Structure 1
Amino acid sequence: MPTVYVTRRVHFNAAHRLHNPARSETWNQETFGLCNHPNWHGHNYVLEVTVAGEPNAETGFVLNLRDLKAILEQRILSKLDHKNLNLDVDFLQGIIPTTENLVVAIWRELEDALPAGRLYRIRLYETESNYVEYYGD
């Protein structure tokens, strides 16, 4: 059977501050610029999750998109949407919430949750112009 790639796109809004507490205020301001603002800043993120696999002979699905939608809501959106990534998200505690770190953390939240297929790619848009992709370790 051929390998097929199925992608679900979702949106969430969140605030964060890029700041390394082990470094000086000057270093943080020079390194992170406006993203180091002490009163946070926010993004309208777009998350794409791609699952790879062979279509099931009985359903034709790699993974029922209804199931993927529910998993994303439970494991990701309910924890990230309208939250402060530095303060509110259990799986981001102690992590500087860059987009790069966020895609790895999201992967880890999803990798054992799929009832079919395998996690192939996570793409996270921080802005319309900037996105990060992760394909697992």
Structure 2
Amino acid sequence: MERVEMFSAAHRLNSENLSVAENKETFGKCNNDNGHGHNYVWKVKLRGEVDPVSGMVYDLAKLKKEMNLVLDTVDHRNLDKDVEFFKTTVSTSENVAIYMYQKLKSVMSNPSVLYKCTIEETPKNVFTYKGN
């Protein structure tokens, strides 16, 4: 099963481990001093056995609430300034997918069914994380 949510956030791709020139070369326009933003699409895929009593792999209403707890940490935020994880981690979409997966897993009532999180930065730039 899959649930999709959307959020808007700003960020700047910049690594403290690179020089100014290396950051500009590596991240291009995404290294703009003022940052930039995206309207992200977040897809969460669960997998597991269908419960014979409820007929569901997972309660969608519960998943919606759990996803909203995670969305509250990123929606209409500057990822680099407002989210502790990104104060020491470059806010690439790969790392956004990892953050969303780990954060969701930490709030789910049954995290064993979490299969993967996908972040669509744009329709052409899509990043998926399946956990460890």
Interval containing the TM-score (normalised by the shorter chain): over 0.9
Counterpart position of 2:29: 34
Residue 113 of structure 2 corresponds to which residue in structure 1? 118
State the TM-score, normalized to the length of structure 1. 0.91
Match of 1:24 in 2: 19
TM-fit CA distance, 1:113: 2.7
Between structures 1 and 2, the one with greater helix share: 2
Are 2:93 and 1:134 aligned?
no
Match of 1:77 in 2: 71
Q: Which stretches of structure 1, 4 residues or longer, exceed 3 Å deviation after superposition?
A: none
Secondary structure at 1:42 match in 2: strand
* 3-state secondary structure, aligned to 2:81: coil
Q: Distance in 2 between matches of 1:57 and 1:18?
A: 47
Unaligned runs of 5+ in 2: none
1:79-136: per-residue Cα shift (whole Å, max 9, x none)?
1000001000123321100011111111111223322451101111000111001111
The match for 1:109 is 103
Q: Is the 8 A contact 1:15 1:82 kept in 2?
A: yes
CA distance in 2: counterparts of 1:95 and 1:48, whole angstroms? 22
Give the secondary structure class of the aligned counterpart of 2:114: strand
Match in the other structure for 1:55: 50
Deviation of the 1:22 alpha carbon: 2.5
> Percent of aligned positions with the same letter in both sequences?
37
> Which whole-Å CA distance do the structure 2 matches of 1:102 and 1:17 have between them?
13
Q: Aligned letter for 2:90?
A: I
Taking only aligned residues, the RMSD between alpha carbons, in angstroms, comes to: 1.1
Query: TM-score with structure 2 length normalisation?
Result: 0.94
Shift in CA distance, 20/91, structure 1 to aligned 2, threshold 3 Å: closer
Structure 1 regions of 5+ residues with no counterpart?
1-5
Structure 1 residue 21 displacement after superposition: 1.8
- Number of residues of Structure 1 aligned to a counterpart in Structure 2: 131
Q: Give the counterpart letter for 2:2 in structure 1.
A: T
